[in-house]
Structure 1
Amino acid sequence: MLRWLASPVARARLPLRIAIELLSTRVDQLCCFIRSNGLQPPPMPKERDSALTRILELLGLSEINSTLAQHTNCETIGKPSRETDPPPSKELPENRYTDAMQSQSLSSLPATAYGDTRTIVAGVGRSAQNSSSRSIMECWDWDIGLGTYITPNSSDVHCLFETTSPSGTLGTDSEGIDSLTDELSDRVGTLRIGPGGQTHFCGPTSNFNLPNMPISDTFESYRKAKHDVLQRLDRLGCNIEIPASLEEHLINLYFSWQNPFFHVVDRRIYEEAKVKWLDMKDTPFYSEALRNAILFGDRAKSLLEIELDCPCVATIQAMVILSSHEIGNGTDARGWLYSGMATRLAFDLALHLDMSAHVSSGDITAADADLRRTVFWAAYTVDQLLGFSLGRPCRTNMEDVTVGKPDHHASQWASAKWAPYIFPNSVDVDAGLLDYTEAVSQQQVALCELMAPCGYILYGTSHFSKTLLQELNAKIVAKLRHWKAQLPPALQIDLNDHSATYLPHVLLLHMQYYQNIIYAHRPWMSKSYLQPQPPKGPGYLHAREMCIQSAISIAKILVLYESRYTLRRINVKAVSITSSAILFLLFAAVCKYPSQSHHDIAAFLSTCFRALDEFSLSWQSARRAKDLLVGLQQQWEIRTRSSKILRRPNQIIPGLDAHG
């Protein structure tokens, strides 16, 4: 029995098919003997009879075997019963087993699965209708979906009986059965590695998560995408050859300004994979959707539809890039969906799993494992940050994530140099700065993990008391401050030092930190909304102070960034961060924030609004954000002026008093 369970046939649930094979063989024997004028059929081998009995019992078809035994144990078939024979059972309605019904029932059997068996069975049915003993076929329920099975090879059937005991017990005391049940009881899941390092993760509740299961054709079907890409572009009317010089220019811009902050593509691996793709070789690290996501977003969206049928690592990379592209274009819903799809697909392709063992065994290379790690954390980071930016923070289950974080070894951080690419021949790479992209990625992940509870507790539930929420939030703020204090020297900045050199992605990292401080304090700005009663903790004035001071810090970083690189090629994340700063600088302006002169607040506001103007040259969302914020400024000014007119002399405006 163990041999049969280990065979490919066992994995296709063969017991029902084997039973059908046995019955078909038996029917064939009956046909022969019917044609021989009722000779006694030979007895069935004992072990096969026992196995058939047991299988039919397990399938709930034991009545078939009973009827079979009733008719095969007679001395003859087709002869009148003896006086000693039991009386025939009550006849069924006369019209139930007509030739027409036999024909209709048997026509549902696929000829490809059973061949001449349908003809043989039909012959038995018609011959047995004229017999005093009813045919076995009269008791067969044909509506059991036989068409979904294929007759197993005789060798596979033989394996079933070869190790089955005469009693029909299916190996209940076998070590193989224990091993099988252990696999079925697994609560973790199984990683599949297909051709070219293509991976897929089958979770524990999947029907296909057992070890050594055959690999689905899906692993190789992404090759078909190569043939579909040109056809799709032709239908869209955008199958235009991209000049090599233009492609190189756009790629340089992407890797210089966008990829370092949302680090999802390794340029060396991308270019190597592209060569393989063009040579018609399999690689999960390049696709036309990824290439066009870097170059042209609209083309990439169309090509992505092809890849969703056979996704690979490059598909996730394309989704991460397209997410930022759509957010920048103001299509927030599509951008958020792309980031969510990228995260879910990362789990589907098992990017969340540690691949050390598979690297050691040679299944994949160390470079491939590193890229998988990079892509997973990029997808996670983009999804988390975008959730906060859109006011839709969501919780991603990270309990099953075993892949390592972005490289934490400082000695490996600056293995390359970064230079501010603008146009061809505008950069001297040797004169560039040491690139700390990996370090920035690591710190981004840390920030996202620190802020995750803020998203699903402070902003995501109302089941906690105000006191408990305040305690939890205080811990988050303490961790944020500790994070900033513990940054390595290469990632530290001085807001008042206008001569030091800073990487653009390092400046953006600090802007993200200050936006997180705003997120953590914003709900506590009200005197009564979340503040515990009696008052406890730092209070609403402290929350207002933290939000306004963080907004001022963001404005100062924008000045540092603009003086070094201009703001035209900044990462799209800056739109959300700058909008947060403007919101609270407007609040400071209308409430006459005391710790800064009105002139200073106005200057910071001017810096941020001007930044949105610069962003809008690249990102449509910046123009929309500016229009909304200008409208909000006008509304707030009208409200505060109306309050001044209506209030009595020396009365303080509620919520806008001398304390902010």
Structure 2
Amino acid sequence: MGEVGENLVESIPPKRAKNAVAGELRCIQWDVSCQYSGTEDGRRPASKTYVLLLRQRIESLEKLLDKHGINSMDHGFQLPGNNLDSFMVNDKLDEASSAMDSLCESLKGQLSLDESLNFDKDGEMRYFGPTSGRLGFQGLPSSSRNPDISQNNPQPDAALGSIDDYLGLAVPSPVIDEIPISLQNELINLYFTWEQPWYPIVDETLFRESMSSSGRYWTPLLHYSILALGSRYSDSLEVRSDPTDPNSAGQKLLTRAKSLLHLEMEHPTLVTIQALGVIGMVYFAIGKDAAGWLHHGMADRLCLDMGLNMDPAGFAGTVTISARETRLRRQIYWTLYCHDKLSATYTGRICSMLDQQGAVELPSEMDESKDNTETPVEIRRAVIPLQRALIGICQITEKILLSVWGPKPLVKGTERPQFFESSLLALTSWFYDLSQQLRIDRPNPVPQAYTLHMIYHTTKILLAKPFLMDPGYCDSADAKNDTVEKARTVCRDSAKTICVVAQKYCRTFGNFRRSPISAMHCTLSAARAILEEPDCPSKLNQLRICLAVLDGLSRSWHPARHIANGLRKLCPMLPSEVSPESGNVSAVDLDIQDLTQNPSEVCGAFSDEAIPELHNILWTDLAPWSQLPDDYGYFDLLNQATWDRAW
């Protein structure tokens, strides 16, 4: 092409230059002259409406193929009878929902207060399925009318009384009154602002209403549990049992909660499940993972005991459940479901709450006649959309865990590459469907939205890792190389993007002091993926960001300190540990300046030499633009103006 051709390529915008270079190679291959136009061609991503129409068309064609007994996923390389049914079962559950509805109708159990089924006789509805054999007893005369039988029935402990008496206290516990009201309000507000939107096991409106009237959705146990977890987000020395130890925050309140839990476990209610979930998070926060796992396990079992895995609408004709309690039951179930997936990846253990074991509608918004909440309105409005989005990605995570990470993986051999591709497509579709209020192309006032994006990229790493660990299942060397290279690219790009999301979070909120605990495992996953990359300047910068995130998290979540120390031992070249108690926040957390100040701060600058500048990470020894994650390129989840100026 000569000098003219070089000038033409240089005149093309940098984002399109890579395409021009590729075109030049093709011209040389076919021995033709190259001609380029410097004008913008106006190409943009397809509209969302168009994509949805395509999806509907594809689904209708797949149903037509299935109707005629043709496997729509069969690309001709599976052995006869060895198709992808092993991991398509969950995908087809939605399509077969109408058939399942009629089947479940005949197998449906019962939520019951009737003592002929519910032998506890404690006033709480409990679920019994058809295999229990008890359903035929419903409606029979009460056994308590028989004096001979009633004499043999054990009586509840008189000191405890009934759960109704316990919940019907006229005034709050005098022990709670010993805690200053101002401190209680601060801790409750911290809980509902920073923790509850990510782990919404408690409904803020119901809790605050019941707290003021000692209603059924408030108990001293739940109150103390929330105060204990809220203490982890507080800098007040009053919440510490040892003023010099930040990890002692909330431990006195946890001790009070444990003493009340012992009593309430005699007569568990929905509020008991909520308290168990909150207490479990407190245990995780102070570094007692086993105790946290135990308490969440108890919450999961009570969830089944009270039929939370069955949608309340199915019992409308047999029991009376208010619309608010219906919403609460769904919210509790899905919160525990998501936590099961997040804790399974955090600990490397199996899932215990499977999607196929429940039939519950997704949480929905409800118009409240009076709003007594104090959480910022932007966060409050995002709680349900955030939970629905988290449910979606946790369902994908469950399939990945069962298919390639389980003790007996559902997907084996040559099916794995196709599972890899289909799961990547599912993740991309999930990402595409995110609502605007959960995107982070511009500063988002909802801190948990950033955590959601970190979870998304961590899930991609979780999907790709097995293909780097054991690629021997591929049919050919070429297929093996292609799959391994794609998996490596997914891991690399996802790890780098987690660092970018962390920087955007710090630009908005300063540091990770009050971030949900899930950011800890995301950061560890990114760091491990970065460690496996070849040494380069950007690698050290990215690891420093990971350590800054972990150091910020360690104030609220003690395990983050252990993880940070472990990473430093793996990388002696990294800075020595910086104590969050030193008060030098800039030495630990990121301080990104306003992007509009000057061109040198296009992507943010940091206040300390130990923390890397964002532009070092973005264009020091990185892959070209074409290899950056499509999610942030096409859907503008990194500020488009920033990228334009950067190039």
Category of TM-score, reference length = shorter chain: 0.5 to 0.7
The question of 1:627 aligning with 2:573 is answered no
- How far apart are the structure 2 equivalents of 1:530 and 1:522? 14
Distance 1:417 1:625, change over 3 A: farther
> Which sits farther off after the overlay, 394-403 or 573-582?
394-403
- How far apart are the structure 2 equivalents of 1:364 and 1:434? 25
- How far apart are the structure 2 equivalents of 1:468 and 1:541? 18
- 1:289 aligned residue: 221
Tell me the amino acid that sits aligned with residue 601 of structure 1: K
Q: Tell me which of 432, 443, 463 is aligned to 1:520.
A: 463
- 2:337 aligned residue: 380
Q: Tell me which of 304, 323, 346 is aligned to 1:366.
A: 323
Q: Tell me which of 181, 199, 209 is aligned to 1:272.
A: 209
Q: What TM-score, normalized to structure 2?
A: 0.59
The question of 1:457 aligning with 2:403 is answered yes
TM superposition shift of 1:273:
2.4
Within 5 Å, give how 1:100-179 maps onto structure 2.
none
- How far apart are the structure 2 equivalents of 1:478 and 1:524? 16
TM superposition shift of 1:356:
2.8
The question of 1:507 aligning with 2:433 is answered no
**Contact 2:451–2:519 (CA under 8 A) maintained in structure 1:** yes
**Contact 1:437–1:505 (CA under 8 A) maintained in structure 2:** no
Within 5 Å, give how 1:57-76 maps onto structure 2.
none
TM superposition shift of 1:253:
0.2
**Contact 1:444–1:509 (CA under 8 A) maintained in structure 2:** yes
Q: Tell me which of 139, 144, 149 is aligned to 1:212.
A: 139
Within 5 Å, give how 1:478-497 maps onto structure 2.
478-494=425-441, 497=442
TM superposition shift of 1:275:
3.9
TM superposition shift of 1:397:
4.1
Number of residue pairs matched?
Answer: 421
**Contact 2:210–2:218 (CA under 8 A) maintained in structure 1:** yes
- 1:392 aligned residue: 349
- How far apart are the structure 2 equivalents of 1:201 and 1:528? 46
Tell me the amino acid that sits aligned with residue 627 of structure 1: N
TM superposition shift of 1:455:
1.1
- 1:122 aligned residue: none
Tell me the amino acid that sits aligned with residue 491 of structure 1: L
Within 5 Å, give how 1:204-603 maps onto structure 2.
204-210=130-136, 211-212=138-139, 221-223=162-164, 225=166, 241-277=178-214, 283=216, 285-296=217-228, 297-356=254-313, 363-399=320-356, 401-407=358-364, 429=376, 435-460=381-406, 461-462=408-409, 464-494=411-441, 497=442, 500-526=443-469, 528=471, 531-536=474-479, 538-566=482-510, 567-588=512-533, 591-592=534-535, 598-603=536-541
- How far apart are the structure 2 equivalents of 1:417 and 1:615? 30
- How far apart are the structure 1 equivalents of 2:123 and 2:455? 35
TM superposition shift of 1:359:
5.6
TM superposition shift of 1:600:
2.3
> Which sits farther off after the overlay, 360-369 or 380-389?
360-369
- How far apart are the structure 1 equivalents of 2:484 and 2:195? 37
Distance 1:364 1:543, change over 3 A: same
- How far apart are the structure 2 equivalents of 1:339 and 1:362? 28
Q: Which runs of 5+ in 1 are unaligned?
A: 1-184, 422-428, 593-597, 637-657
The question of 1:616 aligning with 2:560 is answered no
Tell me the amino acid that sits aligned with residue 328 of structure 1: A
> Which sits farther off after the overlay, 338-347 or 259-268?
338-347
- How far apart are the structure 2 equivalents of 1:443 and 1:532? 36
Say which SS state the counterpart of residue 340 (structure 2) adopts: helix
TM superposition shift of 1:634:
4.5
Tell me the amino acid that sits aligned with residue 615 of structure 1: L
Say which SS state the counterpart of residue 487 (structure 1) adopts: coil
TM superposition shift of 1:505:
1.3
- How far apart are the structure 2 equivalents of 1:531 and 1:435? 47
- How far apart are the structure 2 equivalents of 1:518 and 1:484? 15
The question of 1:189 aligning with 2:109 is answered yes
- How far apart are the structure 1 equivalents of 2:257 and 2:180? 17
Distance 1:267 1:359, change over 3 A: farther
Q: Tell me which of 113, 125, 140 is aligned to 1:199.
A: 125
**Contact 1:514–1:551 (CA under 8 A) maintained in structure 2:** yes
- How far apart are the structure 2 equivalents of 1:274 and 1:239? 12
Distance 1:341 1:536, change over 3 A: farther
**Contact 1:417–1:435 (CA under 8 A) maintained in structure 2:** no
- How far apart are the structure 2 equivalents of 1:635 and 1:536? 37
Tell me the amino acid that sits aligned with residue 540 of structure 2: A
**Contact 1:418–1:433 (CA under 8 A) maintained in structure 2:** no
**Contact 2:122–2:267 (CA under 8 A) maintained in structure 1:** no
> Which sits farther off after the overlay, 251-260 or 369-378?
369-378
> Which sits farther off after the overlay, 215-224 or 516-525?
215-224
1:463-515 Cα shifts (integer Å, max 9, x gaps): 75321233223222210111001212222223xx5xx3341111111111111
TM superposition shift of 1:326:
1.8
Say which SS state the counterpart of residue 364 (structure 1) adopts: coil
**Contact 2:205–2:372 (CA under 8 A) maintained in structure 1:** no
Tell me the amino acid that sits aligned with residue 504 of structure 1: P
Distance 1:527 1:310, change over 3 A: closer
Say which SS state the counterpart of residue 111 (structure 2) adopts: strand
Higher relative contact order (CA 8 A, sep 6+): 2
**Contact 2:331–2:363 (CA under 8 A) maintained in structure 1:** yes
1:599-650 Cα shifts (integer Å, max 9, x gaps): 22222211110111111111111101111222233599xxxxxxxxxxxxxx
Q: Which runs of 5+ in 2 are unaligned?
A: 1-104, 115-120, 145-154, 229-253, 575-622, 624-647
- How far apart are the structure 2 equivalents of 1:303 and 1:532? 59
- 2:595 aligned residue: none
Distance 1:521 1:302, change over 3 A: farther
Distance 1:273 1:207, change over 3 A: farther
**Contact 1:192–1:215 (CA under 8 A) maintained in structure 2:** no
> Which sits farther off after the overlay, 335-344 or 357-366?
357-366
- How far apart are the structure 1 equivalents of 2:189 and 2:176? 22
CA RMSD, 1 decimal: 3.8
1:86-117 Cα shifts (integer Å, max 9, x gaps): xxxxxxxxxxxxxxxxxxxxxxxxxxxxxxxx
**Contact 2:111–2:315 (CA under 8 A) maintained in structure 1:** no
Say which SS state the counterpart of residue 112 (structure 2) adopts: strand
Distance 1:418 1:455, change over 3 A: farther
